[in-house]
């Protein structure tokens, strides 16, 4: 069964995720609908629960905001794990693997 992603489409939701990251690690997945590498990363991220999806085509300004807040240079596909309002782990392109993300989340509990 595929994960139902939690779509991130506005700054208010991003701010809520940053607050939530004070209590638990938060997974943010930047996805491009037009990229083959991103499609493979999407299939990896479907294996996980509680993934916040930012579709870069429909939320470019929000993607730039994430870069500004976290200091993690934008790439797509990209996964960022947030803890205490900061990026504690990230991966992009072919490094986006469900097992690696799950390990990063567990390490930051």
- Mean residue pLDDT across the chain: 95
Q: Is the pLDDT of residue 3 over 90?
A: no
What are the tokens at 99?
A: 């097992």
pLDDT grade for 1, boundaries at 50, 70 and 90: very low
pTM of the model: 0.95
Long-range contacts of 65-68 (CB under 8 A, 24+ apart): 65/11, 65/14, 66/14, 66/28, 66/30
Contact predicate 62/14, CB 8 Å: yes
Residue 20: DSSP 8-state = H
CA angle 100, 105, 109 (to 5 degrees): 150
Confidence at 41, pLDDT banded by 50, 70, 90:
very high
pLDDT given for residue 81 in this prediction: 98
SS3 38: helix
Structural domains present in the chain: 6-107 (3.40.30.10)
Q: What is the pLDDT of residues 66-81, one digit of tens each?
A: 999 999 999 999 999 9
């Amino acid at each position: 069964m595929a994960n139902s992603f939690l779509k991130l489409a506005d700054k208010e939701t991003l701010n809520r995720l940053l607050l939530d990251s004070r209590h638990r690690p938060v997974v943010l997945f930047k996805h491009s609908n037009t990229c083959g590498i991103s499609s493979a990363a999407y299939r990896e991220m479907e294996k996980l629960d509680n993934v916040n999806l930012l579709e870069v085509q429909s939320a470019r300004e929000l993607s730039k905001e994430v870069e500004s807040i976290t200091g993690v240079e934008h790439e797509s596909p990209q996964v960022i794990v947030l803890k205490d309002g900061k990026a504690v782990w990230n991966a992009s392109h072919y490094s986006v693997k469900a097992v690696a993300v799950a390990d990063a989340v567990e390490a930051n509990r």
